Amino acid sequence: MDVATQSMIDLTKLTDESKIIQEDLLSRLNEKMASKQKDLDELKQENDLRDQGIVSAPKPFKSVTAENAALEALKADVENVITNRDEKIKEIEKLYNERRKKVKSKQDPVNVIYLDAIELLYKEQQEAKRAQERLVSTLEDIKIATDIERKRRIKKANYDNEDDRYNKDRAALNYIKESTAVSAEPLTESDFDFGDVQSNIQIVKNVAKAESGYYMVIAVHADEAQRDAFLTKAVAAGQSNIDFFYDVTSSKYFIYSQKFDYIETASRALKNKNNAPYNSKMSMVRIEN
């Protein structure tokens, strides 16, 4: 047996060993992907049910720092073993080509065996690389979707105690009214961020701490800071009779200046609103409790 043949035998054994490691790592990566997908599906289902008004105690968020670090390490291991196996296959191919210079016959039994083996090794590597690419791509898609669902859940999360939210909101409103002076310079419509502009009459249901009726809504915000900024400017513009309610379903604050029991009086108020800059986007919202 010549040196090249012995070297090919030794390298082939190494590629067989690395194949086992490679397949094991890809299998573990696939298990990670399946676990991440399961977590995403459960989180999405929880959010979808919450949107339908079916609220249950949310599952605690997993601590993902260590989990993500382990996943990145596993992805690196997969990349390394594939790269190392590629190099071993190229070494076998190089030895095969060297042997062909000495034993030129393609029909030589050793040449035939190793040519077939090399072709099989390349085929296996292509399959492994496709599997790696698919898993890494899917994991990235799952990560993006999970981030979206986590933010969605946080936005929709129920307060442990709705009274806490209400008391905090009341304190913020009272502070703004008490600490904001009327502006010496007149404000214009462009000074106000009205948030989500409403069209036609909107109906919201089951609003805590608010009575049923028709509300003259002048701004809608999901963000507390934007809500407070609008309130502050409205008070600075001379509107002290301002309030808001929170709609859990949409996770938004509806800022209003008046409330009526009957649609006729509400419609007249909407039609006859003054031209104050904070009133430019006024709309009617009906609360049904």
Q: How far is CA 48 from the centre of its chain?
A: 14
Q: What is the pLDDT of residues 93-149, one digit of tens each?
A: 888 888 888 888 878 888 888 888 889 889 999 999 999 999 999 999 999 998 888
Strand positions, DSSP E, 148-282: 202-205, 213-221, 243-247, 252-260
The pairing of strands 252-260 and 243-247 is: antiparallel
- Spell 96-121 as b/e; 16+ CB within 10 A means b: beebbeeeeeeeeebbeebeebbeeb
Q: Residue 38's pLDDT is what?
A: 94
DSSP 253: E
- pLDDT of the residue at 6: 67
For 22-74, the pLDDT digits (tens) are: 999 999 999 999 999 999 999 899 888 877 777 665 666 565 677 888 899 99
* pLDDT over 70 (residue 253): yes
| 158: confidence class by pLDDT, cuts 50, 70, 90 | low
Query: What digits encode the pLDDT tens for the residues 196-209?
Result: 887 778 899 989 88
Strands (E), the chain: 202-205, 213-221, 243-247, 252-260, 283-288
Helices (H), 180-262: 224-236
User: For residue 16, what pLDDT is reported?
Assistant: 79
pTM of the model: 0.52
**pLDDT score, position 2:** 57
pLDDT digits (tens, 9 = 90+) for 162-205: 777 888 899 999 999 999 999 999 999 999 999 988 777 889 99
**Length, in residues, of the chain:** 289
| 68 CB burial (10 A radius; 0-12, 13-18, 19+) | exposed
